[in-house]
């Protein structure tokens, strides 16, 4: 039970938690209710930056969700131009994160990081389809052992103003490991290699590092889903 309440905090969140605690103490010296408001703010920061451990499926060929959140409609779209993947549309899965979701991002598939690109942009609502093209984003390209490329993109949202990505070109990464986060509401896209079908349906709740989005070794058709 304690494991579900006491959750590790990502290191990027500690300055926010500490800042809120210090502000709470200082403001509380002037007016006691401000102390409690500061403590509530510190508690929210600790909650927002939580970084719970996940059990990652490690079989070769599996692509896992890079983020927690709700899966938006699945579409065919051209990957970010800055990654030089060509103009051919690929299957794009988009995950919308609200402020209550875990916001750390995890590597969708193991391999070598072959491309990174940061693009400044707007901050429209991350649930809108146009956010993939218009919003500030960090694009990541990973080459898997069989040579195929998988792309996942961190996208800032309406109130998000900071994308953190700790990857480097040439780095070897493992499926499901934490590589960054997006602060306060965001979106994460993933582009599947040609011919790979998603194993999830729009509306499903994704669990970063655990939910299997696709299997590159399978020829199973796209799955349908319905709310019951």
Apex CA 110: angle with CA 106 and CA 114, to 5°?
95
Residue 2, class by beta-carbon neighbours within 10 Å (0-12 exposed, 13-18 middle, 19+ buried)? Answer: exposed
Tell which residue, 145, 181, 143, 155, has the closest CA to residue 77.
155
Integer Rg of the chain from CA: 19
Tell which residue, 124, 104, 98, has the closest CA to residue 186.
98
Is residue 115 within 8 Å of residue 187, measured between CB atoms?
no
Neighbours of 218 (CB within 10 A): 12
Tokens 């896209």 found at: 189
CA 159 centroid distance within chain: 15
HSE-up (13 A, CA, CB side) for residue 103: 28
Told to judge if 186 belongs to the known catalytic residues of this protein, a careful annotator would answer yes
How many angstroms separate the CA atoms of 73 and 132, rounded?
A: 13
Catalytic position from the list 94, 132, 139, 186: 186
Which residues are annotated as catalytic? 186
């Amino acid at each position: 039970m304690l494991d579900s309440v006491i959750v590790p905090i990502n290191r990027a969140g500690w300055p926010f938690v500490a800042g809120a605690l210090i502000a709470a103490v200082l403001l509380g010296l002037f007016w006691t209710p401000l102390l409690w408001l500061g403590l509530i703010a510190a508690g929210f920061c600790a909650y927002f930056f939580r970084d719970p451990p996940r059990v990652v499926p490690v079989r070769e060929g599996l692509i896992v969700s890079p983020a927690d959140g709700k899966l938006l409609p699945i579409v065919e779209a051209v990957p970010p131009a800055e990654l030089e993947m060509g103009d051919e549309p690929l299957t794009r899965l988009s995950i919308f994160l609200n402020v209550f979701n875990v916001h750390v991002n995890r590597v969708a598939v193991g391999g070598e990081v072959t491309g990174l690109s940061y693009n400044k942009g707007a901050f429209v609502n991350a649930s809108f389809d146009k956010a993939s093209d218009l919003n500030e984003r960090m694009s990541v390209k990973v080459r898997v052992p069989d040579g195929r490329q998988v792309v996942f993109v961190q996208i800032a949202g309406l109130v998000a103003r900071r994308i953190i990505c700790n990857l480097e070109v040439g780095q070897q990464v493992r499926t499901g490991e934490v590589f960054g986060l997006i602060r306060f509401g965001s979106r994460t896209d993933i582009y599947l290699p040609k011919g790979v079908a998603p194993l999830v349906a729009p509306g499903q709740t994704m669990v970063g590092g655990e939910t299997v989005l696709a299997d590159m070794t399978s020829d199973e058709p796209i799955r349908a889903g319905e709310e019951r």
